[in-house]
Amino acid sequence: MNALKVLRDLFKTNVEFAIGAVLVGIVVVFALLSFVSPYPPLDVYLVAPDVPPGWPHVFGTTSRGQDVFWLLTYAIRNTLLFGIAVALMSRVVSLVVGLLSGYKGGWVDRVLMSINDTFIVIPLLPILVLFFFVMRDRMTSGWLAVTMALLGWAYDARLIRSVAMSLRHREFTRTSVFSGMTTREILQREHLPYVLPIVFSTTLNNMNWSIGLEVTLSVLGFTDINTPSIGGMMYWANQHTAMVAGIWWWIAFPVLAVMMVFIGLYLLAVSINEYIDPRSRLSRIGAGA
Amino acid sequence: MSGFALYALRRLGQFVLVVLVGIHIAYAITHATPIDPVEQSIAAVTQYGNTSPEAIALMRVSLRELYGVSGDPLQQYLAFWRRIASADFGPSLSAFPTPVSTLIARALPWTVGLLLTSTLLAWALGNLLGGYAGYHRDNRALKAMAAVAMGLHPVPYYIVAFVLLVVFGYLWPVLPISGGSAMITGVSSGWSHAASIVQHSILPAASLVLLGVGSWFLGMRSLVSNVITEDYVTYAELGGVARRRILHSYVMRNALVPQVTGLAMSLGTIFNGAIITEQVFGYPGVGSLLVSAVYAGDYGLVLGVTTISIIGVSAAVLLIDLAYPLLDPRVQHR
């Protein structure tokens, strides 16, 4: 109930949060519409090709005889689900690494952070391209999600660690240690609740990151391009040289949709971050620094 | 041991770790997955046209040797490292018989040039403007810029490059949208070639700068607005130090330190962006090379580009790290 109230207050007082929430809301509703789509997502040449936007094909149709509006609902749903899957899986790794590193300190911290920084620096795109090269036809979004989750946890682990480090010397941590709790219990029951808000905002950022990479890979044709996704739609549009042929709606609507996703998630993450950090909240109200 | 030597040694260790981990990931992907890269290459090569079964069998044997996927796991592992250590990834399949290393060496200067200019430009511009925006919080133009940066920042590289391509390719065709330089036939001066290179790099560089500037701008703005609340800034203001001097020498100088670390940490991401940008604009760098290698089923080239990217990016990070003590002298006394 408390969290709901916070969200309502944020919506009223924070413009960025309101815009982000509206954008993400529109996108989610759009994705939900896929459940009532009159067309099956994988079939092609269902409707007349290359029809410009109008009634009954609101966003027009593709050169492959698909309705852009309904195809886009599937594409957004898959893309969002992909982002959520990667974010949830990578949260596990970054939570374990971040909490452990922050709580233990010393050589555990040094070793974990060395590995962590390694994963931050490595250029992931060539590695993912190599992954596609090896997998080829067996590439599925599930495998891609697992791989990206295994590679994309490091940045957030560092953030979580910085919060966990401040918890280490707090009174309640010492009490838990003296009452005989194991490291695992302390991290799970005592520290986890404190880092949850920041985990939430990193989840949104991580979704943006993974969706961005997924769109990029699919535009190049380096994913399972037959399952509808936003990048996949752009891939097929490029294959049919939609821009040259003047079928602009095939490209414009997916681009518009993905921009809404990115800007929406980003604004949500930024404003929630700002809410977590009370200093910036004060400056918003105008009460000093 | 002096502070700097210890620091440098530690950074060097981190560099070695990055290269080791990166190359092991590449090894794991190519060797631990149940899919045989040799069969993949053969399938890709024989996809068009017909190749006789004898030729395919011959190709299989030579590819197995070439890619080091023959023999027991230990032999494979050692062969993998031997190839990387000698920078020899065999001949390219798609540009046979040019060695992969020659192809990469040809493409590398383009990528390095594009990345260096656009990253430095974006970083300098973003930090300067962000610094002003953090100091002059009420400036309308800077506020508008922050809003634009916020909207642009989360958009992926591909989209921005693509939008630029559409605008300058179809709507307002004034700039070359593909290639690295114009084909120059006959006698021409070096200057016109250089001018053509610059002209061709404008769009790819612009899309990289456009995306890069936003995050440096936002980062610097929040850093500066934190720094100006420090006591020493208030003291300097009370002491009558010129505001310009406070901003440049006291505030931005200190806020720049985390931004240098940020630059080192985001190099990998920037490199990812450059790959995409090159592909969109047909720029003859390693990004285009990588993508066309995948389409052509050229395993040696894909592996070569991946390895070089890992080493190149971590070497660049090492350079930034080694230059860091120049900006933050505290490192030497730790």
Whether pLDDT at A142 is above 80 = yes
* Percent with pLDDT over 90 in chain A: 19
B37 contacts A134? CB cut-off 8 A: yes
Mutate: best of A130, A243, A270, partner B, most B CBs <10 A:
A130
Q: What is the pLDDT of residues B126-153, one digit of tens each?
A: 999 998 888 888 888 888 888 888 878 7
Q: Give pLDDT tens digits for B65-90.
A: 766 666 677 887 887 788 778 777 77
Judge whether B322 and B9 are in contact, CB under 8 Å: no
Q: Other C-beta atoms within 10 Å of A138: how many?
A: 12
- Residue bearing tokens 């607005």: B225
- In this prediction, residue B127 carries a pLDDT of 92
The chain B residue lying nearest A132, using CA atoms, is B294
Residue A124 with chain B: CB contacts under 8 Å? 268, 272
Separation of CA B173 from chain center: 28
How crowded is residue A3: how many other Cβ atoms within 10 Å of its Cβ?
Answer: 9
Instruction: Give me the pLDDT at residue B197, please.
Output: 79
Q: How far is A258 from chain B (nearest CA, A)?
A: 8
For B314-326, what is the mean pLDDT?
87
**Who's near B242: CB < 8 A, 6+ residues apart?**
none
Residue A254: its chain B contacts at CB < 8 A?
A: none
Reduced to 3 states, what is the DSSP secondary structure of residue A67? strand
Q: Identify the pLDDT of residue B189.
A: 63
Lowest mean pLDDT among A170-179, B41-50, B100-109, B239-248: B41-50
* C-alpha distance from A23 to closest chain B C-alpha (Å): 12
Mean pLDDT of A129-158: 86
Chain B interface disruption, residue of A79, A114, A134, A137, most B CBs within 10 A: A134
CB proximity A134 to B under 8 Å: yes
Confidence of residue A81 (pLDDT cuts 50, 70, 90): very high
Tens digit of each residue's pLDDT (9 = 90 or more) over A198-241? 888 889 989 988 998 888 888 888 888 888 888 888 888 888 87
Nearest-CA distance B17 → chain A (Å)? 7
Instruction: Report which listed range, B60-69, B123-132, B291-300, is most confident.
Output: B123-132
DSSP B113-172: HHHHHHHHHHHHHHHHHHHHHHHSTT-HHHHHHHHHHHHHTTS-HHHHHHHHHHIIIIIS
Residue B163: list chain A partners with CB under 8 A: 255
CB A268 within 8 A of CB A204: yes
> Cα distance from A214 to chain B (closest Cα, Å)?
10
Measured in angstroms, the CA of A88 and the nearest CA of chain B are apart by 20
* Residue B184 scores a pLDDT above 70: no
Per-residue model confidence (pLDDT) at position B37:
66
Nearest residue of B to residue A265, measured between CA atoms: B154
Closest-CA residue in chain A for B18?
A118
Per-residue model confidence (pLDDT) at position A29: 93
A186 touches chain B (CB under 8 A): no
Q: What pLDDT score was predicted for residue B126?
A: 92
Judge contact between B63 and B46, C-beta under 8 A.
Answer: no
pLDDT, residue A87, reads 93
pLDDT tens for B28-53 read 887 766 666 677 667 766 766 667 77
Task: Determine the structural domain holding residue A265 and report its residue range.
Answer: 2-285
A47 φ, ψ (degrees, to nearest 5): -130, 170
Q: What is the pLDDT of residue A92?
A: 92
Q: Does the pLDDT at position A286 exceed 50?
A: no
Contact, B102 vs B90, CB < 8 A? Answer: no
CB-based contact A263 B151, cutoff 8 Å: yes
User: Among B40, B43, B268, whose Cβ lies nearest the Cβ of A122?
Assistant: B268
Taking alpha carbons only, the member of B169, B240, B244 closest to residue B203 is B169
| pLDDT score, position A287 | 42
Q: Of residues B79 and B106, which shows the higher confidence score?
A: B106
Digit-coded pLDDT (tens) for B187-214: 556 777 777 878 888 888 888 898 889 8
Average pLDDT over residues B280-307: 86
Asked whether the beta carbons of residue B153 and residue A258 sit closer than 8 angstroms, the reply is no
Whether pLDDT at B301 is above 60: yes
pLDDT mean across residues, chain A: 84
- Mean of the pLDDT values across residues B288-310? 85
Q: What percent of chain B has pLDDT over 70?
A: 88
Q: Which of B18, B163, B169 sits opposite A122 (nearest CB)?
A: B18
Q: Looking at the complex, report in whole angstroms how far the Cα of residue A137 sits from the nearest Cα belonging to chain B.
A: 10
Q: Confidence band (pLDDT; 50, 70, 90) for B123?
A: very high
Percent of chain B with pLDDT over 90: 5
Interface test with A, best of B17, B20, B25, B89 (most A CBs within 10 A): B25
User: Residues B252-269: what's their mean pLDDT?
Assistant: 86
Looking at residue A288, its pLDDT comes to 36
pLDDT at A289 over 50: no
- The one-letter code for the residue type at A139 is M
Determine the average pLDDT of the residues in A53-71: 83
Chain A hits for B155, CB-CB cut-off 8 Å, are 259, 262-263
pLDDT tens figures, A84-94: 999 999 999 99
**Which CATH number does the domain housing residue A98 bear?**
1.10.3720
Q: Give the pLDDT band (50/70/90) at residue A281.
A: low
d(CA B94, CA B294): 10
Tell me the C-alpha distance between B309 and A46, whole Å.
Answer: 44
Q: Can you give B154-170 as a three-state secondary structure string?
A: CCCHHHHHHHHHHHHHH
> In 3D, which of B320, B306, B316 has the Cα closest to residue B23?
B306
Contacts of B150 in chain A (CB under 8 A): 16, 263, 266-267, 270
pLDDT of residue A26: 94
Task: Please count the structural domains in chain A.
Answer: 1
User: What pLDDT shows up at residue B34?
Assistant: 64
ipTM of the modeled complex: 0.83
Query: CB distance B271–A123 less than 8 Å?
Result: yes
* Residue in A closest to B265 by C-alpha: A121
Of A57 and B239, the structure prediction assigns the larger pLDDT to B239
Report d(CA A166, CA B248) in Å as an integer: 32
Which segment of A69-73, B6-10, B49-53 scores lowest on mean pLDDT?
A: B49-53
